[in-house]
Structure 1
Amino acid sequence: MQFICYSRCTTCQKARKWLEEKEHSFEVRDIKGDNPTFAELQTWYKLSGLPLKRFFNTSGQQYKSLNLKDKLPKMTEEEQLKLLATDGMLVKRPLLLGEDFVLTGFKEAEWEERLNKS
């Protein structure tokens, strides 16, 4: 699995600790230093089955300063994915990627349920 996070994010820290306590093996990728590409985001979005809005860090400064709450509904999916690919801080984190799943944000019960299927 790949664990995509921002090291200074407390939710990411909590998720990483949870994964370690549950003894799940994973590779860490820093979202700020290694921003997801358009192609990666497109793949993850399709695999996740989630609404694209779930990939946006709606509580982040970038999201607010760009006034994305009002702009996103008027943008195409391609435009939204291209925007996400410009700055890792726009992307909801942590992301947990498996061969057949993508989880956005850390919801312990959701992660537990999904990882028990793997």
Structure 2
Amino acid sequence: MNKVYCYSRCTTCKKAIKWLEDNKIKHEVIDIKENHPDEKTLKDLHKKSGLPLKKFFNTSGQLYREMELSKKLPDMTEAEMYKILASDGMLVKRPLLITDKAVIPGFKEEQWKEATK
């Protein structure tokens, strides 16, 4: 079963869910604010994605800017990054798609199409 971490007020998340529904792709929506991934889950998702850990940060989010993470991330260890990401779902790039074969932060239709085949 495909899982999607989303924030209900996020327009990109709404667009992604609509795309899944329009394409009749089964999925489970998880509220990223209420049920955000913990450190272990983030480590597993990061490893499965093959992406740099920085791609999991919601760089356009208010909390990211308030915490001045753009200045702090370059000097952080992965352990510190996981800890911060796990502290608040609003720091995690969304929507976050999890399939049997891929983990994709953010909504890019072509990537989602490939991952949900």
Q: Hey, what does 2:100 align to over in structure 1?
A: 99
Q: Which runs of 5+ in 2 are unaligned?
A: none
Residues 1-38 of structure 1: CA deviation (Å, up to 9, x unaligned): 11110000000000000000000001110000111100
Kindly provide the amino acid, as one letter, of the partner of residue 52 in structure 1: L
Q: Distance in 1 between matches of 2:87 and 2:43?
A: 13
Q: Which runs of 5+ in 1 are unaligned?
A: none
Q: Hey, what does 1:54 align to over in structure 2?
A: 55
Q: Hey, what does 1:63 align to over in structure 2?
A: 64
Which contiguous aligned blocks of 4+ residues in structure 1 show a shift greater than 3 angstroms? none
Q: Hey, what does 1:31 align to over in structure 2?
A: 32
Identity of aligned residues (%): 55
Residues 39-79 of structure 1: CA deviation (Å, up to 9, x unaligned): 00000000000111110000000100110001001000110
Normalising by structure 2, what TM-score?
0.96
Kindly provide the amino acid, as one letter, of the partner of residue 62 in structure 2: Q
Q: Distance in 2 between matches of 1:100 and 1:109?
A: 15
Normalising by structure 1, what TM-score?
0.96
Q: Distance in 2 between matches of 1:81 and 1:15?
A: 25
1:101: how far off? 1.2
Kindly provide the amino acid, as one letter, of the partner of residue 97 in structure 1: I
Kindly provide the amino acid, as one letter, of the partner of residue 40 in structure 2: A
Q: Hey, what does 2:88 align to over in structure 1?
A: 87
Q: CA 1:51–1:42 in structure 2 vs 1: closer, same or farther (change >3 Å)?
A: same
Task: Give the number of aligned pairs.
Answer: 116
